[in-house]
Amino acid sequence: MMAENNGPKITVYIISHAYGEYVEQAILSVLQQTYKNYELLLIDNGSTDNTSKVYKHYEKMPIVRTFKFENLALPKVCQMALE
């Protein structure tokens, strides 16, 4: 018998590289879902716009974790999110 995992069943990640204008809409779309057993990773990949300010607004939520990288290649950021 496998041990029960009490952590989130689904991980959703949102990567922004200067998409601050749109990223809050994506975050709200996730937060408004009816399914609630998930975690949300917000990844700022070297943005120079207001992305970090938008992320800061949500970082205190227990289901949200924020990360900041310095303009890595998208496949590398995705791999880090999956790890």
pLDDT digits (tens, 9 = 90+) for 10-52: 999 999 999 999 999 999 999 999 999 999 999 999 999 999 9
- Model confidence at 78, in pLDDT bands (50, 70, 90)? confident
Q: Is 66 helix (H, G, I), strand (E, B) or coil?
A: strand
Position 54 scores a pLDDT of 96
The Cβ of residue 52 has, within 10 Å, a number of other Cβ atoms equal to 16
pLDDT at 1 over 50: no
pLDDT at 4 over 50: yes
> What is the value of pTM for the model shown?
0.85
pLDDT at 3 over 60: no
State how far the Cα of 82 lies from the Cα of 45, in Å rounded to an integer. Answer: 15
State how far the Cα of 14 lies from the Cα of 78, in Å rounded to an integer. Answer: 9
